[in-house]
Amino acid sequence: MEQFLQQLTNGLAVGGIYALIALGYTMVYGVMKLINFAHGDLFSCGAYLGLTLLTGLALQDRVGPVAGLLVLAVLVVVLVALLGAILERAAYRPLRESPRLSAVVSALGASIFLQNALMLVYGARFQVYPSGVLPEIAVSVLGVQVPLMRILVVLVSLVMMGALYLFVQRTKVGTAIRAAAIDQGAARLMGIDVNRVILLVFLIGPALGGAAGLMVGLYYGQIGYQMGLLYGMKAFTAAILGGIGNIPGAMVGGLLLGVVESLGAAYVSLAWKDAIAFLVLILILIVRPTGLLGERVAEKV
Amino acid sequence: MSRRLLAGYLAVAVLIGCTPLFLDAYWVDVLCNVGLYALLALSLNLILGDAGLFHMGHAAFYAVGAYTAAILNTRLQLPILWALPIAGLAAAIFGAIVARPVIHLRGDYLLIVTIGMGEIVRIALVNDLGGLTGGSNGIFGIGRPSLFGWKLRRPDEFLYLIWGFVALTVFLFHRLAQSRFGRALNTLREDEVAAEGSGVDTARYKLMAFVMGAAWAGMTGSIYAAKMTIISPESFSFWESVVVFVIVILGGAGSIPGVILGAFLVIGLPEIFRGLASYRMLFFGLALMVMMVVRPQGFLPLRPVRFREADVPPEGAAP
């Protein structure tokens, strides 16, 4: 029971991170029908920027641990969001009218570029986050000692997801995003500036991804330049699991995948942990390509 | 095949055939690598270029072929070149099994699934599947190939083996492109609905392209195993699939000379600028983005087949 609860909470924390990244995939896909391959690498950028700012600015010493962490998070989120907007401008906008697969290749190029840029700047070795950013205490949940960091990761990801959901469902801009996702042409006729919606989506998605990157750095303490590929693939699996283009779907899919993977690693096989997500991905696409709550993706043959 | 293209092929063949006379062992080895990647890219070209299926797990087929040959050679002492067709067959069967359920997926989804497939294969190899693959150390002590009693050891001997296989492949694939199969794939890529309307069984042809591409990658894998004598999961990582993919896209999807040029550019060129080796992938990422804007069809794109009047059979003649 003890182990089960530990794995469950760990799965929820990892799942929250997957869900935040998955939201970036699903929002971009919803509006542009494009899989943003570089999204996983924007997530890595968030982790690395977080490390640089954490060690470079020493905010913790200047404004205290909690405020320092908040400022750090805001800086990372803003910077990664800007990076996302630049990416959209440079790699995707020139290809708006091209065949879909040209944009996919360009996205792939962007992913390769970002990943290798990170390697050249930071080196190919794993980088370590400084310890003691947050006091390492454990909180008792249902009689089980759970690290504070884990609870924080779960809470922060849930709050961000909730905020995004309210933004998309309740505000005027959110309505514009949903309209552009359903039919770009009709949205344009209704007076919605679709270019701005796309730009906004490319700000919000990478912002959430960057936050996820920072959280991975703080939670695991170790980051590598290639982790964007693995996390990106898993988050994409989460997005498909929930139904791509569907925002609540990405959240549900992410949490579900995190828990399945965490329990699978504990009770089935640790060595095959990374294969679990890919197996889930392939099975869903074969059995139910629309995901749990999503649109149709397979062509009729 | 046009006369100009034939002349180009002959010139390249003669040039490569003479290289051991004036290049040292290192550069001959680089040319061997170019040849291996050209083979991989030609096999991926059947899937990506001819059938238009976005497949980015080609390293998996390469790995299945290499490991099949290596296991047959080290466990059963089968000569490595005898294992070549078996490796091709194993990769083809594997390709058929994995492709059958996913072949109908839309382009970008297929891309993701094939990446996942490639990763599962790599993880399986690292986890020492069935106690046969040797885990992350891989398999070593693979026997040298011998051809008509001649044991191949030196890079220049491998150069002739590899580029001989490239020449055979180029010939066969050009014939294939002219066949019913090739024309069906061509129609399929240009317009799937029209192809189906003209009676092309799209699912079957896509699957056939996949299986043939897998078989060829598998055979290339066995040549790789023979050349290296050691294979390990590292050699079949996601990046291998990416490099082969980049070769096909930059060279010109669907175009056989384009793909060979792509192999020279992507594998050979970085060797010339070796001081900048770590910038290699950075540059390719950028090149992919720029190419999609300025020249999405690749450097040497596929030229549509044209028929001269003389090619058209006279009215009433048997086709």
Query: Is residue A5 over pLDDT 90?
Result: no
CATH architecture of the domain covering A2-130+138-287: Orthogonal Bundle (1.10)
ipTM: 0.82
The C-alpha atoms of residue B216 and residue A259 are separated, in whole angstroms, by: 40
The contact set of B with A (CB < 8 A) is 54, 101-109, 111-113, 115-117, 119-120, 123-124, 126-127, 202-203, 238, 242, 245, 249, 278-279, 281-282, 284-289, 291-293, 296
CA distances (Å), origin A173, targets A184, A195, A248 = 15, 13, 18
Q: What percent of chain B has pLDDT over 90?
A: 34
Q: Give, in degrees to the nearest 5, the angle at Cα A114 between A227 and A280.
A: 40
Mean pLDDT of A100-105: 82
β-bridge partners, A128: A222
Q: What percent of chain A has pLDDT over 70?
A: 97
Contact B292 A95 (CB under 8 A): yes
pLDDT in tens, A144-157: 788 888 888 889 88
Nearest chain B Cα distance for residue A6, angstroms: 26
Task: Indicate if the alpha-carbon torsion angle B102, B107, B110, B114 is positive or negative.
Answer: positive
pTM of the model: 0.87
Contact B112 A35 (CB under 8 A): yes
Task: Indicate if the alpha-carbon torsion angle B113, B118, B119, B123 is positive or negative.
Answer: positive
Query: Is residue B146 over pLDDT 90?
Result: no
- List, as ranges, residues 102-121 from A with C-beta within 8 Å of B: 102-106, 108-117, 119-120
Nearest chain A Cα distance for residue B276, angstroms: 11
CA atoms within 13 A on the CB side of B309: 0
CA distances (Å), origin B236, targets A92, B126, B231 = 30, 11, 9
Query: Is residue B312 over pLDDT 80?
Result: no
pLDDT in tens, A184-216: 889 999 999 999 999 999 999 999 999 999 999
> β-strand A138-141 against A144-147: which pairing, if any?
antiparallel
Tokens 């912002």 -> residue: A207
For B49-81, give one letter per residue: b (16+ CB within 10 A) or e.
bbbbbbbbbbbbbbbbbbbbbbbbbbeeeeebb
**pLDDT at position B315:** 66
CA atoms within 13 A on the CB side of A155: 6
pLDDT tier for residue A289 given thresholds of 50, 70 and 90:
confident
Domain ranges of chain B: 3-301
Reading the block at residue A51, the tokens are 């490390």
Reading the block at residue B192, the tokens are 């799937």
Q: What percent of chain B has pLDDT over 70?
A: 95
The C-alpha atoms of residue B44 and residue A140 are separated, in whole angstroms, by: 54
pLDDT in tens, B24-58: 888 898 999 999 999 999 999 999 988 888 898 99
CATH topology of domain B3-301: ABC transporter involved in vitamin B12 uptake, BtuC (1.10.3470)
**pLDDT at position A292:** 77
* Cα nearest neighbour of A114 on chain B: B282
Whether the CB-CB separation of B187 and B198 falls below 8 Å is answered with: yes
- Nearest CB neighbour to B292, from listed A35, A102, A112: A102
- Nearest CB neighbour to A298, from listed B106, B238, B281: B106
Nearest chain A Cα distance for residue B183, angstroms: 19
Domain ranges of chain A: 2-130+138-287
Query: Is residue A248 over pLDDT 80?
Result: yes
pLDDT tier for residue A299 given thresholds of 50, 70 and 90:
very low
**pLDDT at position A244:** 82
pLDDT in tens, B194-230: 888 988 888 899 999 999 999 999 999 999 999 988 9
Provide the 3-class DSSP secondary structure of residue A98. Answer: coil
